[in-house]
Amino acid sequence: MKISARNQLSGTVTAIISGAVNGTIKVDSVAAM
């Protein structure tokens, strides 16, 4: 089953760290579940 992270996560992106292969995104999240 494929789900969209857009609808599952709620929060504010605080930092985006770009890497050669992948990136890391830091999020201040609010527990939604």
- Ordered by start, the domain boundaries in the chain are 1-33
Amino acid found at 6: R
Specify the pLDDT at position 30: 66
pLDDT 10s digits, 2-28:
655 555 556 677 777 777 777 777 777
| CB distance 27 to 8 below 8 Å | no
E strand spans, the chain: 11-17, 24-29
Specify the pLDDT at position 14: 75
Q: Are strands 24-29 and 11-17 parallel, antiparallel or unpaired?
A: antiparallel
- Give residue for tokens 């939604």: 32
